[in-house]
Chain A
Amino acid sequence: MNNFLLLTILVAVYLLGIGYLGYYGYKKTKNALDYLVAGRSAHPVVMALSYGATFISTSAIVGFGGAAAMFGMGLLWLTFLNIFVGIIIAFIVFGKRTRRMGHNLDAHTFPELIGKRFQSTFIQGFGGLLIFVFMPIYAAAVLIGAARFIETTFTVNFNIALLIYTLIICAYVLAGGIKGVMYTDALQGAIMFIGMVILLAYTYHLLGGVTNAHQALGALTDKVPAKLVAGGHLGWTSMPKLGSPLWWSLVSTIVMGVGVGVLTQPQLSVRFMTVKSNKELNRAVMVGGIFILAMTGVAFTVGALTNVYFVKNPQFGKIAMEVAGGNIDKIIPAYINSAFPVWFVYLFMLTLLSAAMSTSSSQFHAMGTGIGRDFYDKALRGGRHTHQTVAITRIGIIIGVVLTILLGYKLPTSIIAIATAIFFGLCANTFLPAYMGALFFKWMTKTAAIASMSVGFLGTAFWLLFVHEKESAALGLCKFVFNQPTLAKYPWTVVDPIVVILPLSFLVAVAVSLCTQKPPKEHVEYCFKHI
């Protein structure tokens, strides 16, 4: 009971702090115009931390950290892509043009940017609807990540833990946390950074230093469960066997799906528009690179190393997956609670709350604007902004929150990393060719953008429903129609849709552009003004 009281006080103080900063940030936002004209705008550190805190969630720390305990340190390829694609390519290559073109076209959401660039109501409406319908899968992954930690820390039932976090997130949303206030995100980013750096330093200290810890992990190869060995697992400091089911799962779904998908995350791409000039983006690259290394780099390294801790600790004497009862989402919470002093468990609780809230709020924001501004306002009302739009946006947020919570209760165990990867992959396959075309290729046509988005979306849906066995067997449609769990044969049954559908979607974009009417020259010139 004392633990609950302490948690309540901590969370209350935390929420008050966040609430105050939110209010302060909002007051400042009111004068954003003055700031812009006066030559001042969002500080690059604030922008980078805000982007990072929105990017990294409990999904990355708890979900993918747990996945690293299963796959091993090969998951660090995702950290590399998180930095190389999610920061370097995203900020330097995509960010600068997104900001300029977003301002030229007065676009405020990701679907609006692509829709206005290609002068297509359909693109904006379809994009908004897709985000509204599918974002809850990713939002639920974030929710589950936070709830798993509460469940383990306070030894309460998972459903109660989910309810506790839901109440916290509702209080946050009601207090205005849904507004895109970067100062709040930045504070949360700072808390996350401190928590993760301590996590890494203490873990290496506990296991006898960097090299010793890695060597100890490498020596555990004989402890890999037979089922994983059969799937291609060669140890936690080795990549899985080339072409094995585990290799495809790690490389195509986890590393490529999430690593590339980050470019088309609607809640992230709009952040580029909030800075005044490219100078802020240049500076933000520095902070972003360090921040992501401290987030996923730490989570994946520590996640894999939990095996050493659990095997060597006589209280457990077995690998992390076995300690967590086969649910990889519980590995990081179990490790923190077992290996760390109480004060750090609470600090880490705030780290996870920060990671979850900054991402959750931006997800609900994207869902609301997706259904209100992009779908209702643009696709149904022909761009007429009314009071109804505001109401629909708010109702959209409420429906999004409810859907997310329901999914949180319904989704199976060990789901966080998979759910996140599905959403990231879906966004990449659907939006990436059109987004790249919008920013870089003046010759890309509206029909080509629509065709590539349709192929990307429908192709991914087909692949998940009828080919990729993990999902097709769980969803059951293939079994219902064809009386078999998948229509394909190995290795296609373990190859992620991003490997097949994304190149196809690019191909369609180029082929259709070559044989359809070019966009009006004046419009294209206007889009690319000052670029």
Chain B
Amino acid sequence: MFGINDPGVWSAYLLCILSSLFCIIYGMMNWNKGDDKVHPEDVSWVKDEKTVQDDL
């Protein structure tokens, strides 16, 4: 397959393409899923993250 004889290599080539395709399909299927509510911990984290960045 793909001009490669060794299944140990062409299967890796194929799996690379298939796993990328999975990423595309997963992203599309879950495009609008997982929208969490903003919790107080999230707000506090962003505030503190700014301090960490400013220190640098």
Kindly list chain B residues whose C-beta atoms are within 8 Å of the C-beta of A372: 55
Kindly list chain B residues whose C-beta atoms are within 8 Å of the C-beta of A30: 50
**Within the complex, which residue of B13, B20, B33, B50 is in contact with A76, where a contact is CB–CB below 8 Å?**
B13
Q: Give B contacts to A, CB under 8 Å.
A: 2-6, 8-9, 12-13, 15-17, 19-24, 26-28, 30-36, 38-39, 41-50, 52-53, 55-56
> Which of A218, A282, A365 has most B Cβ within 10 Å?
A282
Give the Cβ gap from A333 to chain B, nearest Cβ, in Å. Answer: 24
Given contacts A215-B3, A282-B31, A285-B27, whether A72 and B9 have CB atoms under 8 Å apart is yes
Given contacts A72-B9, A76-B13, A286-B26, whether A214 and B2 have CB atoms under 8 Å apart is yes
Q: Count A interface residues, CB 8 Å.
A: 73
Kindly list chain B residues whose C-beta atoms are within 8 Å of the C-beta of A32: 46, 49-50
Q: Do B23 and A277 touch across chains, with their CB atoms under 8 A apart?
A: no
**Within the complex, which residue of A74, A96, A283 is in contact with B12, where a contact is CB–CB below 8 Å?**
A74
Q: How far is the CA of A77 from the CA of B9 in the complex (A)?
A: 8
Q: Do A83 and B23 touch across chains, with their CB atoms under 8 A apart?
A: yes
Cβ of A278 < 8 Å from any Cβ of B?
yes
Q: Do A289 and B22 touch across chains, with their CB atoms under 8 A apart?
A: yes
Q: How far is the CA of A369 from the CA of B24 in the complex (A)?
A: 34
Q: Do B9 and A286 touch across chains, with their CB atoms under 8 A apart?
A: no
Shortest beta-carbon contacts, A-B, top 8: A289-B23, A286-B27, A278-B34, A214-B3, A211-B3, A282-B30, A239-B8, A76-B12
Give the Cβ gap from A63 to chain B, nearest Cβ, in Å. Answer: 19
Given contacts A88-B19, A288-B23, whether A237 and B6 have CB atoms under 8 Å apart is yes
Q: Do B2 and A179 touch across chains, with their CB atoms under 8 A apart?
A: no
> Which of B24, B46, B48 has most A Cβ within 10 Å?
B46
Pick from A53-61, A102-110, A261-269, A455-463 the stretch touching chain B: A102-110
**Within the complex, which residue of A80, A108, A301 is in contact with B48, where a contact is CB–CB below 8 Å?**
A108
Q: How far is the CA of A397 from the CA of B19 in the complex (A)?
A: 37
Given contacts A29-B53, A37-B38, whether A293 and B32 have CB atoms under 8 Å apart is no
Given contacts A365-B56, A373-B52, A390-B55, whether A103 and B45 have CB atoms under 8 Å apart is yes
> Which of B22, B28, B55 has most A Cβ within 10 Å?
B55
Give the Cβ gap from B49 to chain A, nearest Cβ, in Å. Answer: 6
Cβ of A9 < 8 Å from any Cβ of B?
no
A10-41, CB < 8 A from B: 26, 29-30, 32-33, 36-37, 39
Q: Do B9 and A283 touch across chains, with their CB atoms under 8 A apart?
A: no
Nearest A residue to B28 via CB reads: A286
Kindly list chain B residues whose C-beta atoms are within 8 Å of the C-beta of A281: 34
Q: How far is the CA of A87 from the CA of B9 in the complex (A)?
A: 21
Kindly list chain A residues whose C-beta atoms are within 8 Å of the C-beta of B2: 210-211, 214
Q: Do A368 and B56 touch across chains, with their CB atoms under 8 A apart?
A: yes
> Which of B20, B36, B38, B50 has most A Cβ within 10 Å?
B20
